[in-house]
Structure 1
Amino acid sequence: MRRLILDHALLPDGWAENVGIDIDGGMILAVHANASADGRERIAGIALPGLPNLHSHTFQRGMAGLAETRGPEGDSFWTWRQVMYRFLGSLTPDDVEAIAAFAMMEMLEGGFTALAEFHYLHRDVDGRPYADVAELSHRIAAAAQETGMGLTLLPVFYAQGGFGGVAPTEGQRRFINDVDSYARLLEGARKAVAELDDAVIGVAPHSLRAVTPESLRDVVPLAGGGPIHIHIAEQVKEVEDCLTWSGQRPVAWLLDHAPVDRRWCLIHATHLDAREVKGIAMSGAVAGLCPITEANLGDGIFEGADHLAAGGRFGVGSDSNIEISASAELKQFEYSQRLKHRARNVLARREGQSTGRSLYDRALAGGARALGRRIGAIEAGQRADLVVLDAGYPDLAAVSGDRWIDSYVFVAGKAAIDTVFVAGNAVVRSGRHIHRETIRARYGRAMARILA
């Protein structure tokens, strides 16, 4: 058993001092406010529950910055996608692992302690399956093992190139499975994470444009009780194409034709009408928001204020990993709403409430639901995942309580992070991952080869 005492900690019922936590097997057994320090390891600073990252494609960390040159007229998400296809054309399994480890390291340094990896790179560069169909799932699991990242692995089902069963393109050849081969991939993925503590497997139909109604119907039960994630309504063109195909908007179609419930995470859900906003909230599904990526790709602005007013749930993810910071994702979400509504503190629940605290609490709860793991709170029965802020950091030193979170989210960001624990183990100290130099060097070698 490991016994810690935290100077300050955010507990489910509020802030507390001298918080003793007893940890065994990575789980919190007990929490004691105003505990004695006798026999405990003191952790200085301000302890928050670690934030879940509910959506990432780790391999895209390697292409960050490569699509920032203006293309032809109409440069958009769809032209960015062509850059992505070219980038992944030569990635080896070693490259995938090196990039994933670097991205996970940055996530941990940036305040994320658990990850839902929406993993759609499955095949070799020529589109043939590896000898082990789950080869690249093993590489994601190896990166999680090395970095200490808590993992929900979501192998992606991707079978079509567009709505109505359009054939996939050459650029999508590394993603493709039918239902039978996907079932084998899932079984291999379960073996890949078997050595990780508390890992979860879910399923991820890529999007309505990448599946048929029949294959979606067949894939969803493969989740069992695990999470189900899907890209939905990210782009205006996607909404228009779905209307042409089905006569319905994407979220409306999904709510009418799939058993959407609390296991589901609807990624982006950027373009919604009033019925869809209400439908997501009533279903219990989580809206999976990636505000930095959504801004980078020009997706649009999520209906955040209406979603929360309807009782909707959300969490945040780093998606394309153009910038990796838990606090920056929350800040971008709030700032997008300020721009949309020309107002301030849009996402706080009531007068007098801290906007940073409201964002953080909701992202903890929504992220934990989306990952299907026992995370998101400093309490007995939860994983011991903690982000400890430096109480002496200039922007935090003169404030207290919820103002700490406001200063972290809106001002200091990840520079204020001192120590990060995952399952009771310190994986970041003094703001740097304990294996940073090794992981960084391997990533640098991989990128030098890829971009040569």
Structure 2
Amino acid sequence: MSTVSGATVFADEALLPDGWSDNVAVTFSADGKISRVDKEAAAQGERVGILLPAPVNLHSHAFQRAMAGMSERRGSEPRDSFWTWRQIMFRFLDALTPEDVEAIAAFVQMEMLEAGYAAVGEFHYLHHQPDGTPYGNLGEMSERIVAAAAETGIGLTHLPVHYQFGGCDGRPLAAGQIRFGNDIDRFQKLHEQAARAVKSLPGDTVIGVAPHSLRAVDGDGLESAIALAAGAPLHMHLAEQIPEVEEVLAATGQRPVDWLLAHHDVGESWCLIHCTQMTPAETEGLAKTGAVAGLCPITESSLGDGIFDGVAYLGHGGRFGVGSDSNIRISLSEELRTLEYSQRLRDTCRASVATKEKSTGRVLFDGAIRGGAQAAGRLSGAIAKGLYADLVALDGTAIDLEGRDGDEILDAWIFAGDDRMVSDVWSAGRHVVSRGNHVKGNAIRARYRTTMASLRGRL
């Protein structure tokens, strides 16, 4: 799937860095970057109603998409939680083959594109065979993610995950987790193979690194991952669950965010995922680092993680993006809506993140496009010359968008609409979604159905 050099998209209305404009023509070159943006242009090229910069889905575990709907029964424990859900996930992934993972990844990437995302940060920790034995090709599973991205055309920031231990006490990985594990030396070799694999993809592809969490890596493992990243995107789960906070506090004498900020130079290349369990001081401290908080509101709601304090975080100038994490439901508009509604429910208010200048939808969307691009190390986040042509078009004839103008378009999409409003998506100029459907959707869906039928027979 390639970019057509000189291709032009014409929009009746577009959101540009300096605000909304009418009759906008966006032209991009063979490298997928925008070469011209013309306002008040004559109609030309591919015509769409409303054109927006397309965000990055900054946090995904692709394989978990195939679990959607399988974990809603009460388990044997008196109270279900993230930790009981995790046991279901461990049992599920024991059945997955490399072929399964590629088919699942392609399907979920297709869904992301149809929802309006142009790229994904794949937090990839499923590395080995079910008993923990490495595949003959250490990078086998990373290559499957890369193959899926080649098929779907999604922009990929690949984040191989370093996972050493089952807890802060250094206990060995248990059954279920053992497929994730590597010591420092083997992880470095795995990362090298993943870095070679992504070179087969277009030039907008990025390789980063992801120390899983403070529970799963020790001090040396974290230092090694930071050195391996060398300024590339570095993502890590942080302060998601109360038991996690309590374990880190007992082991180190500090809460996770406090410990990380005290011991490492956290900055703009970092993306800390969830951060739902922070004190006001930690919230302010993280906001001031320039790092991105990677929020996954649908998954955080599903797993009962807690509510990120978005009002205070944004009040301190914090940066954020959104991701689909467990992929139980892929919906860009719903991630943003859930984020805002969580603030309203907690604070018994309305329009919690809106400002005098910008509506709620505009604040949420601006934050997601900028924070997502930063977290992914991707040259995107706006419709501007020199950036990748990551574009999402909304159907201007949708009932809830009729008569809307400016920021009301975003408010109507996020709070009254859904993914059915998405008509077209370009990822680095690759026209991957047309008239609401992925250009290879039929084949990808058929393979996923076959994979799921086989997988159900093995569970």
Mapped to 2, the partners of 1:5 and 1:432 lie a distance apart of: 19
Mapped to 2, the partners of 1:4 and 1:412 lie a distance apart of: 23
Q: Pick from 119, 122, 129: which aligns with 1:124?
A: 129
For 2:353, the equivalent position in structure 1 comes to 347
Deviations 1:86-118 (A, max 9, x none): 110011111000000000000001111110000
Q: Pick from 297, 315, 318: which aligns with 2:321?
A: 315
Secondary structure of the structure 1 residue equivalent to 2:159? strand
Report the AA paired with residue 89 of structure 1.
Answer: D
1:302-381 alignment, distance < 5 Å: 302-348=308-354, 350-351=355-356, 353-381=358-386
Secondary structure of the structure 1 residue equivalent to 2:92? helix
For 1:94, the equivalent position in structure 2 comes to 99
For 1:449, the equivalent position in structure 2 comes to 454
For 2:41, the equivalent position in structure 1 comes to 35
Report the AA paired with residue 339 of structure 1.
Answer: L
Deviation at 1:4, TM superposition (A): 2.8
Q: TM-score, normalised by structure 1?
A: 0.98
For 1:285, the equivalent position in structure 2 comes to 291
Are residues 1:47 and 2:48 paired? no
Deviations 1:243-279 (A, max 9, x none): 1111100011111112211110000001111221121
Are residues 1:150 and 2:155 paired? yes
CA contact (8 A) 1:97 1:142 kept: yes
CA contact (8 A) 1:110 1:324 kept: yes
Q: Pick from 60, 64, 71: which aligns with 2:64?
A: 60
Secondary structure of the structure 2 residue equivalent to 1:426? strand
Mapped to 2, the partners of 1:329 and 1:55 lie a distance apart of: 12
Bigger shift: residues 20-29 or 229-238: 20-29
Q: Which runs of 5+ in 2 are unaligned?
A: 1-5
Report the AA paired with residue 420 of structure 1.
Answer: V
Are residues 1:237 and 2:230 paired? no
Q: Which runs of 5+ in 1 are unaligned?
A: none
Are residues 1:268 and 2:282 paired? no
Secondary structure of the structure 2 residue equivalent to 1:171? coil
Mapped to 1, the partners of 2:169 and 2:290 lie a distance apart of: 28
Q: Pick from 191, 210, 220: which aligns with 2:216?
A: 210
Report the AA paired with residue 378 of structure 1.
Answer: I
CA contact (8 A) 1:112 1:325 kept: no
Deviations 1:376-427 (A, max 9, x none): 1100111111110000000001211111110111111111111111122221
Q: Pick from 415, 419, 439: which aligns with 1:410?
A: 415
For 2:252, the equivalent position in structure 1 comes to 246
Mapped to 2, the partners of 1:129 and 1:257 lie a distance apart of: 33
For 1:437, the equivalent position in structure 2 comes to 442
Percent identical: 53
Deviation at 1:352, TM superposition (A): 5.6
Name the count of aligned residue pairs: 449
1:101-112 alignment, distance < 5 Å: 101-112=106-117
Deviation at 1:186, TM superposition (A): 0.8
CA contact (8 A) 1:164 1:212 kept: no
Secondary structure of the structure 1 residue equivalent to 2:158? strand
Mapped to 1, the partners of 2:171 and 2:264 lie a distance apart of: 21
Mapped to 2, the partners of 1:387 and 1:4 lie a distance apart of: 11
Mapped to 1, the partners of 2:220 and 2:195 lie a distance apart of: 24
1:73-84 alignment, distance < 5 Å: 73-84=78-89
Mapped to 1, the partners of 2:97 and 2:12 lie a distance apart of: 45
Q: TM-score, normalised by structure 2?
A: 0.96
Mapped to 2, the partners of 1:406 and 1:50 lie a distance apart of: 16
